[in-house]
Structure 1
């Protein structure tokens, strides 16, 4: 088995739609977003954040952290996909196709 298999490496995507009507709602939104960023998630689109994980086990650690920080109101979705599936994504800006770039730098220490 390859050391870095595109079927073993995972991406965790968090989709959320949180209320922002009141000052308290906006603070809850900001706190949730800040916790995602602190845990290594990167904004992919508005209210869609993603994180690269070395394995399914590592992805589960980060999924549990997201679940621990769920706000009391709003809609939150969590999706875990392989690096191979992520690489098959097609992105468009208007009608122009855009190359899918990975928002991380893979470092190998050993």
Structure 2
């Protein structure tokens, strides 16, 4: 547990990117790969999430994401508490599926 006001969060990145032309498709794929390189996991096609035990750890990632947004793209980012994330519902083909739990430890690349 961290200090009050600096509790662990999940950072969600939601985006819409143009993919009409081949160059736009390439830029969108590069953007998605960059998110994976930054430690995000894909939740849905245009929604990625990253666990941050200390929210301020995400500041450099936010700058990187903003500076690499493809032309014509739109991003929305939000932090939700670990408690909110763990209480989320997830359904696949109308079946309950467990939500990803808080990582036990950080993976360092």
Specify the SS of the correspondent of 1:15.
strand
Cα distance, 1:58 vs. partner?
1.0
Normalised to the residue count of structure 1, the TM-score between the two structures is 0.82
C-alpha distance in structure 1 between counterparts of 2:94 and 2:24, whole Å: 35
1:3 to partner: Cα distance: 4.9
Distance 2:52 2:87 in 1: 17
Answer whether contact 1:42 1:50 (CA < 8 A) is retained.
Answer: yes
Instruction: Count the aligned residue pairs.
Output: 105
Q: 1:74 to 1:15 in 2, by over 3 A?
A: same
Contact 1:11 1:80 in 2 (8 A): yes
Structural RMSD (CA): 2.2
TM-score, normalised via structure 2 length: 0.82
Aligned to 1:107: 105
| Aligned equivalent of 2:37 | 38
Cα distance in 2 for partners of 1:8, 1:16 equals 25
Structure 2 residue ranges without an equivalent (≥5): none
CA deviation vs aligned residue, 1:62-84 (integer Å, no higher than 9, x gap) = 22221121111122211111111
Q: Give distance in 2, aligned partners of 1:52 and 1:39.
A: 11
Q: Structure 1 91/4 Cα, relative in aligned 2: closer, same or farther at 3 Å?
A: farther
